[in-house]
Amino acid sequence: MMRIHYVLVFLLLAGPGLLTTTPALDAQDASKPSPSGGAKSANPAPSSDERKGAQQYTGTYSFLKDGEFVQLTVEDDGRITGFISRFGDSESDKGAFLDQFFKTGKLEGSKLSFTTQVVHGVDYDFKGSVERGEGKAPGDEAYFVLKGTLTENTTDANKKVTTHSQDVVFKAFPQNAGPPGA
């Protein structure tokens, strides 16, 4: 009974921030090497202003065809999570809506890269940047754009991989509008 009392007091004193952590994040933090001997890290942690600036890139962006989109979320540590929602192109999934979640993603300054999971033999790699677009105010369509090279990797039944790269510009959707069909 006394232990429960101490745990409750600790939770009250620690505040709500303690309750928002997840075991996965805690494990990631524990696995990061700490700098030894007070030496500065080669990649210093971004300041809170930099994190807030990068988090403004979080949102929904156009993809290759009308009705397709990229959902991008910038995490505090510059890690990118999200997915691509697209129409299937193969005979077995023609016209079906497919979600391809990011396997990896990273934002360093304005440099953006992500790789998707393989779905029905197709995965995507994006390497580029987040830039200011033609939108006039935050929340406007194309206020930010994802500009870079998108590589589509298609694996056939014989495990042969075909790669197609193209330069792309994906425009941010207006903030008061959701993805198509929402």
CATH code, domain with 105: 2.40.128.30
Distance CA 115, CA 150 (A): 10
% residues pLDDT > 90 (the chain): 55
State pLDDT tens for residues 51-108: 556 788 999 999 999 999 999 999 988 899 999 999 988 777 787 889 999 999 999 9
In a domain, 157, yes or no: yes
Domain that includes residue 67, residue range: 48-171
In a domain, 14, yes or no: no
Q: How many domains does the chain have?
A: 1
The answer to whether the beta carbons of residues 137 and 143 sit under 8 Å apart is yes
In a domain, 58, yes or no: yes
pLDDT recorded at residue 9: 37
Q: Reply yes or no on whether the pLDDT at 135 is more than 70.
A: yes
Distance CA 155, CA 162 (A): 6
pTM: 0.68
CA atoms within 13 A on the CB side of 37: 1
In a domain, 117, yes or no: yes
Distance CA 146, CA 71 (A): 11
pLDDT recorded at residue 38: 44
In a domain, 130, yes or no: yes
